[in-house]
Amino acid sequence: MTHMKILFVSPYPPSRIRVRGYGFVQNLRCEHEITILTQVSSRTEWHDIQLLRQQGFEVVAVPESQNLALWRSGLALLSELPLQVAYARSKRFLQQARLLCLKREFDVIHVEHLRGIASMDLLSEEYPLVWDAVDCISDLWRQTVQYGPGMLVRMIALLEYKRTEMYERKLQEKQAHIITTSDADRAALLALSQPAVPYSEAPHIDVIPGGVDLEYFVPTNQQYRPYNIVFSGKMSYHANVAAALYLYRKVMPLIWIEQPDATLTIVGSSPPHSIQSLQIDRRVEVTGYVEDIRPYVCRAHVMLSPMLYSVGIQNKVLETMALGTPAVISTHSAHSMNVQPGQDVFVADSSHAFADAALFLMGQKTLRDSVSHRARQYVERYHHWPTLTRQLLQTYQRAISCDDRKTTAPAPEHSSYKNMHSS
């Protein structure tokens, strides 16, 4: 495939925590020229940008005020715009993208997430653009209405569900080249406006699952802690909070009846008070942010991920499998994967099933070793970043081939450019 100049737009800096964009840019750079354009609003994000620059990436950062973003969200309460779209939508972000396109000729623009396209949807009228929706966010809100951790989260979900559904419907009708991480998310997006269209007749939405850095997430000989159970994930994400609370309140008491020495480690950044307060139980450790998640996963006897609701593919599960730690995941999560239950991972759909699977795995070394080996093989087969990046490049190529416009930016007198500056 010919050398490409790619403008990679993300509402947050790609990093080992924001792993999807990070995996793509790391692999795209091998043969293509990448310019990363990102919003930044915190010290952590500035740190992530510096790490990217140290690795040789060209990163254009657009500072955003969190207070201004919250103000935009507040105003959106009086409209039909989703709150997170209003939060992320930035004229400065769009302006910087257009200025970059004036200075150089990009072959394609890659925009990640709903929060990214919130600012960039107009660019699809002027350039070949691929929108990586990642997940169907309206489907996430639909599930959160029922399963969210607390009344406030459920009320927000109830407010956001229909708004996001309407917004994603309009985006899908407007964006010609879309990516999701799973067949389920693809189907959920298509169902918003094309419920009767067969899978094969809607080729503009490609499925490219999440990947794993197989050279970074490598099984080790680290001695595991007997009866240590780990749950990992960004703990500012409400679905992870719901899963962690369910794990502690519903699953662990069943495990403790049979194995009083069992311990629980919850690993992930920004845990809310409801999660931090679990440490009053001496059998529970809440780490907060850690630079390297691998030691915590590798030392665990088993990983439990009882996601009550979710969209897409769980990166924490893939990374655990790559590290060779046996995992028990929810039926809901397994639907987005091609795993063989009982061989690659164990699958459970109730608190008793999770507890039974965990106790069974912890008591069967030969089985654990087999699951560990097969899990690594599964990730190597289906979630290798170079393979997924080749699929992404095919989507890029289709976007470029279908585009009948010049890939140069409109002149400054173009009406949309003038309106952007006058607004």
CATH of residue 334: 3.40.50.2000
Do both 390 and 373 map to the same domain?
Answer: no
CA distances for 275 relative to 219, 233, 247, 316, angstroms: 29, 12, 11, 18
Half-sphere exposure of 6 (CA within 13 A, CB side): 30
Q: What is the rounded CA–CA span in Å between residue 169 and residue 269?
A: 32
76-80, 313-317, 327-331, 408-412, range with the lowest pLDDT: 408-412
Do both 153 and 256 map to the same domain?
Answer: no
299, pLDDT greater than 80: yes
What confidence category does residue 197 fall into, taking pLDDT thresholds of 50, 70 and 90?
low
pLDDT in tens, 220-274: 888 889 999 999 999 999 999 999 999 999 999 999 999 999 999 999 999 999 9
Nearest to 127, CA basis, from 112, 111, 147, 143: 111
- CB-CB contact of 42 with 63 (8 Å): no
- Between 274 and 73, the more confident residue is 274
Q: What is the greatest pairwise CA distance in the chain?
A: 73
Do both 27 and 171 map to the same domain?
Answer: yes
**Structural domain includes residue 359:** yes
Total structural domains in the chain? 2
- Between 69 and 301, the more confident residue is 301
Predicted confidence at residue 100, as pLDDT, reads: 96
Do both 117 and 177 map to the same domain?
Answer: yes
**Token couple for 275:** 């999660």
**Structural domain includes residue 222:** no
Do both 48 and 108 map to the same domain?
Answer: yes
Predicted confidence at residue 338, as pLDDT, reads: 87
Q: What is the rounded CA–CA span in Å between residue 284 and residue 393?
A: 44
What confidence category does residue 196 fall into, taking pLDDT thresholds of 50, 70 and 90?
low
**Structural domain includes residue 217:** no
41, pLDDT greater than 50: yes
**Structural domain includes residue 272:** yes
Mean pLDDT, to the nearest integer, of 366-370? 93
Do both 298 and 413 map to the same domain?
Answer: no
90, pLDDT greater than 90: yes
Q: What is the rounded CA–CA span in Å between residue 416 and residue 410?
A: 9
Residue 227, by phi and psi: left (phi above 0), alpha (psi -120 to 50) or beta? left
Do both 369 and 394 map to the same domain?
Answer: no
Predicted confidence at residue 312, as pLDDT, reads: 84
What confidence category does residue 302 fall into, taking pLDDT thresholds of 50, 70 and 90?
very high
What confidence category does residue 416 fall into, taking pLDDT thresholds of 50, 70 and 90?
very low
Predicted confidence at residue 23, as pLDDT, reads: 96
pLDDT in tens, 129-140: 999 999 999 999
Whole domain around residue 122: which residue ranges? Answer: 5-211+384-422
Nearest to 399, CA basis, from 74, 128, 75: 128
Do both 18 and 82 map to the same domain?
Answer: yes
Predicted confidence at residue 160, as pLDDT, reads: 94
Do both 163 and 136 map to the same domain?
Answer: yes
Do both 46 and 153 map to the same domain?
Answer: yes
**Structural domain includes residue 403:** yes
Do both 140 and 158 map to the same domain?
Answer: yes
309, pLDDT greater than 80: yes
**Structural domain includes residue 314:** yes
Nearest to 253, CA basis, from 364, 359, 146: 359
**Structural domain includes residue 219:** no
Q: What is the rounded CA–CA span in Å between residue 120 and residue 106?
A: 15
Predicted confidence at residue 311, as pLDDT, reads: 87
**Structural domain includes residue 216:** no
Mean pLDDT, to the nearest integer, of 51-59? 97
- Between 2 and 374, the more confident residue is 374
Do both 206 and 334 map to the same domain?
Answer: no
Mean pLDDT, to the nearest integer, of 38-62? 95
Mean pLDDT, to the nearest integer, of 93-108? 95
